Structure 1
């Protein structure tokens, strides 16, 4: 299967997840990872903040098999991944969104072929409020009306007070403290596209350099509301159930709801690599990919709070890469 065919298939699967059975738990069919000889060198990763902890855990596990491999990880944001991969300053380019067409075109202009997208986990983008906030949930049009200046999701009015989403008493007249990732983040782009219907953020948002900073801001502000990956949840915040539209049932950010496609802000997480279609991967890159799609790699996904992938998907990707 060619790159563009594969990524189209994965995009369709990512939209619904329904064709991936058993995704909520670690697939027992996943192979055990076995150490091989001849693996050494430097393995560099530049990209997503959302994936930073997961990449670190994978690197630590990889070093148990190959202690002489030097792994370096930077996680400033997804937008830093494409130029790093294009320029050759990174072997691994983790992203919490798919590459944009312009980013792919820049890579193709430099290398003559497209970058290769490895789907490595499923994340749920969570909307967080302070742990003491009594709200039960929000619809996506309400989320849009809280965060955006454009309200493209169709809510009839701007939402500026908690009373407008059903809170009473001392909460009714409280305004919002809005916490957001910054524009370099793939999480920012995903939220803009899927929760704001492609609209524009309000000027009053507090942009943060990392997902943990968003959660910390909401923790410290009784009026706070923000968004980041589910893996950054702490005891200081509450994850809101979300409804696709006004009047629809609230869906909790649980693994099984990401697996069946009912949670509306589910997404693939990716690691992009430079794979020349006429050449094999280096032993270093090959073995890291094999570990990602092994029981070892996907147990780390599960442990870090994300939804692991089934063996069938991993085997399909490795077959496309020519990995036995």
Structure 2
């Protein structure tokens, strides 16, 4: 397994290098000029030129890329153009907040979708299956921004049960943190739940028709044991894959939800940086998303051997 993990890590190096090229050059093609944003369109040309030199924006783009790449390889994410502060500390703090939201959404979606998927497979073509399938389809179809806005209008503004937006540190005010976490978690989890429910249902239907399941039932094994000990374990491989992919997507795709609920994570940082033309921050966010996605996929690949002993790494 260690050899396999090492090979996978080596294989992603060219991918990450390719992402650095995309992140840097596409970021620099964002319409607008950061100097004009900072000084205004009527700024003194000499002052604007001096600021451009100070920010090293007067360099050829290829020179700037290799300077940035060399700093990145040293672990230096650079400084924000707008604030002048190092990016790394603020980025890690915000990534922790995004991870809190992502973890809560994945746990909620998994806890609901796997039992619902099993129930839909067992009750195939019955009322329970139809209700669960329709709910899963709604989860896949409903946009995050619409659902989030609806939840704020109903639970926060109309009923007053929960705060509409914001963030509180779990170490300073755990109760307020949990209240603020509920609505964005539901918003993120609803779509993931729909996807996982459909995958769990399909995987279970395929496994339940296998010979080893019929043999277990013929031997008198309890139906609960047949479902969870035999069928579910063999159906988990595609489900685990989808869970891993969704963790990566949520970590890198919470921009809308964080913006709607005022959650100060990486997504909201990326939006602010794009609006302000803060190139180093945008590039750092993109690289963090890419690295996270790579690590999550590696962990998922390693979990296959834990779930199914028949899988061997080479």
TM range (shorter): under 0.3
Scaled by the length of structure 2, the TM-score of the pair is 0.28
TM normalised by structure 1 equals 0.27
Larger radius of gyration: 2
Structure with bigger strand share is 1
